[in-house]
Amino acid sequence: MNEQPHILVVDGMALLFRSFFATAPMNQFFRKADGTPTNGVQGFARHVLTAQSMMKPTHLAICWDMGVHTFRNDLFDGYKANRPSPPDELKPQFDMAKEVSEMIGWKNFGEVGMEADDTIGSMVEKWKNDAKITVVSGDKDLLQLLNPSTTIALTKKGYTEYNVYDVQRFEEEYAIAPALFADVKAFMGDSSDGYPGVKGIGPKTALSLIQKYGTVDGVLAAIDELKPAQRSKITEYEEMLKLSHQLAKIHTEVPIHATIDDLSLPTLTQEKLDQLTMDGYSLITRHAKSLFPNG
């Protein structure tokens, strides 16, 4: 009997931003001959190559946001409204990262109007019964996607250290099912995404409410049992609570136009490595050769 495929699903946006901001403060932009910065792109590719060598997947997919505006902005004007626009040195690197991905042979995914998280969630939903899946990201929101065949590896330090969650670890730490993480987020809100949840309810209270009542709807159904202070806060912010839940929940119905076979790992040929070097990405080439000396 053949072993199940192991798909590495990479949050390309998370790794690109992380790589950019790891080197930009030191003015290490690794510019091409024409002056275009490459620090985010080269860091992203090196990170994925390292993950590939450590985690030994059989298949690989890279997921991207496709533009700033998503259905969540249509639901709530304030969604991510407080985020500064990307630095000028990062802007050209969004398209470059996808190009480098294709050059190496990785398959890019993204849907206009959805976030990378939703594409990742849809891949997990589509293939959870057919493959072992490891998701690499820095985004804890993805913990809601955990299932018996899916592991979330949250970036921790450098290219090699991860905070790894499976269902067992999540349930031990949170004492709820992973899917209910969105219900917890609905109460506590998310300052980086710009939605408030219920003002005055922090992470501990949010978690204890979901542990006791199961869901946002469960808490609302039991509103009369709550302490007066909690009851008044939740009643005052009930509409925002419901909206925050919609914003926190990762969608899993994005169409994924691919089969698992389409995600097969590419071979790192000398021709590809030469092309990367010629295009100004010699750091990637060197890193690839150190990790995969035999191609």
Q: Please calculate the CA angle 117-120-6 and round it to the nearest 5 degrees.
A: 150
pLDDT for 3 equals 84
- Assess whether 187 and 202 both reside in one domain: yes
pLDDT for 293 equals 85
Section 261-274 average pLDDT: 94
Residue 95 lies in a domain: yes
- Assess whether 230 and 263 both reside in one domain: no
Given a cut of 90, is residue 256 above it in pLDDT? Answer: yes
- Assess whether 89 and 141 both reside in one domain: yes
Beta-strand ranges (E) seen in 144-201 are 150-157, 161-165
CA distances from 94 to 14, 98, 274, 281 (A): 12, 7, 22, 15
C-beta of residue 39 within 8 angstroms of C-beta of residue 292: no
- Counting residues of the chain whose pLDDT is more than 90, the rounded percentage is 89
pLDDT for 110 equals 96
- Assess whether 285 and 155 both reside in one domain: yes
- Counting residues of the chain whose pLDDT is more than 70, the rounded percentage is 99
Given a cut of 90, is residue 35 above it in pLDDT? Answer: yes
Given a cut of 80, is residue 74 above it in pLDDT? Answer: yes
Residue 187: give the domain boundaries.
175-248
* Residues linked to residue 157 through DSSP beta bridges, in sequence order: 161
Given a cut of 80, is residue 23 above it in pLDDT? Answer: yes
Given a cut of 70, is residue 159 above it in pLDDT? Answer: yes
pLDDT for 133 equals 98
| Number of CB atoms found within 10 A of residue 270's CB | 10
Q: What does DSSP assign to residue 225?
A: G
Sequence letter at residue 194: G
pLDDT for 295 equals 63
d(CA 72, CA 88): 25
Question: How far is C-alpha 110 from the chain's CA centre?
Answer: 12
Q: Tokens 């005052």 — which residue?
A: 236
Residue 85 or residue 265, greater confidence: 265
- Assess whether 71 and 179 both reside in one domain: no
Q: Please calculate the CA angle 282-287-293 and round it to the nearest 5 degrees.
A: 115
> Which pTM was predicted?
0.95
- Assess whether 215 and 275 both reside in one domain: no
Q: What is the mean pLDDT of the chain?
A: 94
Given a cut of 50, is residue 98 above it in pLDDT? Answer: yes
Q: Label residue 215 by pLDDT band (50, 70, 90).
A: very high
- Assess whether 19 and 158 both reside in one domain: yes
d(CA 96, CA 264): 22
- Assess whether 197 and 167 both reside in one domain: no
Residue 77 or residue 178, greater confidence: 178
Residue 167 lies in a domain: yes
- Assess whether 190 and 281 both reside in one domain: no
pLDDT for 58 equals 97
Residue 1 lies in a domain: no
Section 76-95 average pLDDT: 90
Token couple for 127: 């293939």
Q: Label residue 226 by pLDDT band (50, 70, 90).
A: very high
Total structural domains within the chain = 2
Given a cut of 70, is residue 1 above it in pLDDT? Answer: no
If you compute the radius of gyration of the chain from its CA atoms, what whole number of angstroms results?
Answer: 21
- Assess whether 256 and 275 both reside in one domain: yes
C-beta of residue 252 within 8 angstroms of C-beta of residue 122: yes
In terms of C-beta density within 10 A (0-12 exposed, 13-18 middle, 19 or more buried), how is residue 33 classed? exposed
In the chain, alpha helices (H): 12-23, 39-55, 71-75, 93-104, 116-127, 167-174, 181-188, 203-213, 216-221, 228-236, 238-248, 270-278, 282-291
Section 197-211 average pLDDT: 96
Any idea what the CATH number is for the domain that residue 224 is in?
1.10.150.20
